[in-house]
Amino acid sequence: MACRGACCCGCGPVNEDNARFIMLLLLIILYLLCGAAVFSALEHHKEMQAKEKWAQRFELFSQKYNLNKSDLEKFLRHYEEANMAGIRVDTLRPRWDFTGAFYFVGTVVSTIGFGMTTPATVGGKIFLIFYGLIGCDATILFFNLFLERIITVLAFVLKSCHEVQRRRKGVLPHDSRQDARLNREDSLAGWKPSVYCVMLILCVAAIIISCCASAMYSSIEGWGYLDSLYFCFVAFSTIGFGDMVSSQRRASYENQTVFRIGNFFFILMGVCCIYSLFNVISIVIKQVLNWLLKKLEIPCRHCPRRSLRPRRNAVMPAHIRKRVRNISIDTDAVNDSETDGRRMSGEMISMRDFLAANKVNLAIMQKQLSETANGHPRPCGSTNRHNGFSGGVGALGIMNNRLAETSADR
């Protein structure tokens, strides 16, 4: 990587956010190429076999019943149109009764989109655009609020377990209730759960939900257990291919109401759990990117080393952050003293001194705007320090400063 500041040798400044974005883009492209190579090696031969088998069946059928191939192809195209409208050879439940429509809108707002049911009328397509625009936004907000609450609950549980473990080791004294509570609050004031513990818990929860749902689908839908696990991941991750869809194969089930309620519950909990797991894994991926940036950083030979102020989304060790912060405070003090001296002498101050003198007012204004946007004031002990996960948007903003790896105090 090039220098991150202005370079005298002509190299432009490289922002760490941009470097991380470019590296992630390149890694995703490489990941896509590797995935395409693997799936092509696994599935291409099967596709060619299916084409050959279909061509043989088509030829034998046209010869057996003495049918014109063009007429038979036209009939098959009509069947494909009927298939898109939800008509199958097997007896299926109606697609556009109230329960079928409710299942459809659920796949729309959850962004699963199985594709087995699609609107065919112009009015339905226009209504879907506005309906999905509001419904998808509301559902994403629900997923983010679920993520915020599950992180809060897991942090509370893990903090309690950490407290019990420290008490067993004798780190926390067994005093009176009031003294023990005060000592516990002081000793665990800055403790936050690790992202790896939260990721492990969410992974176990996703596996349990998927295994239970697969047992239900394999027994009721008649799928294999591995196919049921495949459907659970495709549905819970909102990929939604549509090759396998629950509650659609037959017209009726035994205990149909109970099965539909269970199907709705498993899909809802699975989507929420997998969404939370994906966002926590994204933190680990961002840590890997930060580590790669640190390893690939090459200092410029023509430029002297300078102390850098911490940028937004820049991960720096704690002792370096503290040192840089102290330097900035001293610099501000010098600027303030010089500004006061110039004010006393009546000398006109420069724009740099004017901005330095009003830095406190700008910081207070920025804090007020941030509190207004967040809807609640920040704690008094919070600072403006940032690490590799501060200033995030959406789910990353929710998890900011809630886990040990995203804490500003790291």
Q: Is residue 363 part of a domain?
A: no
Residue bearing tokens 């516990």: 184
pLDDT of 60? 93
Q: What is the mean pLDDT of the chain?
A: 76
Q: In the predicted model, is pLDDT for residue 73 greater than 80? A: yes
Q: Is residue 162 part of a domain?
A: yes
Q: Is residue 366 part of a domain?
A: no
Give me the mean pLDDT over the 255-276 stretch.
Answer: 91
Domain containing residue 118? 16-167+193-294
Please name the helix (run of DSSP H) or strand (run of DSSP E) that holds residue 398, with its range, or none: helix 395-399
pLDDT tens by residue, 139-190: 999 999 999 899 989 988 888 888 888 888 776 555 555 555 555 555 566 6
Q: Is residue 310 part of a domain?
A: no
How many domains does the structure of the chain reveal? 1
Q: In the predicted model, is pLDDT for residue 295 greater than 80? A: yes
pTM of the shown model: 0.70
Q: In the predicted model, is pLDDT for residue 2 greater than 50? A: no
Q: Is residue 209 part of a domain?
A: yes
Q: Is residue 353 part of a domain?
A: no
CATH classification at residue 247: 1.10.287.70
Higher pLDDT, 225 or 247: 225
Q: Is residue 110 part of a domain?
A: yes
pLDDT of 318? 46
Comparing 159-163, 198-202, 368-372, which segment has the lowest mean pLDDT?
A: 368-372
Q: Is residue 354 part of a domain?
A: no
Task: Report how many helices (DSSP H) and strands (DSSP E) the chain contains, helices first.
Answer: 12, 0
pLDDT tens by residue, 340-362: 544 444 445 555 665 565 555 55
Whether the CB-CB separation of 225 and 218 falls below 8 Å is answered with yes
Give me the mean pLDDT over the 359-380 stretch.
Answer: 54
C-alpha to C-alpha distances, 99 to 120, 184, 256, 270, 356, nearest whole angstrom: 18, 53, 12, 21, 64
Comparing 147-161, 201-215, 295-309, 371-385, which segment has the lowest mean pLDDT?
A: 371-385
> 3-state class of 113 per DSSP?
coil
214 pLDDT band, cuts 50/70/90, is: very high
Q: In the predicted model, is pLDDT for residue 234 greater than 80? A: yes
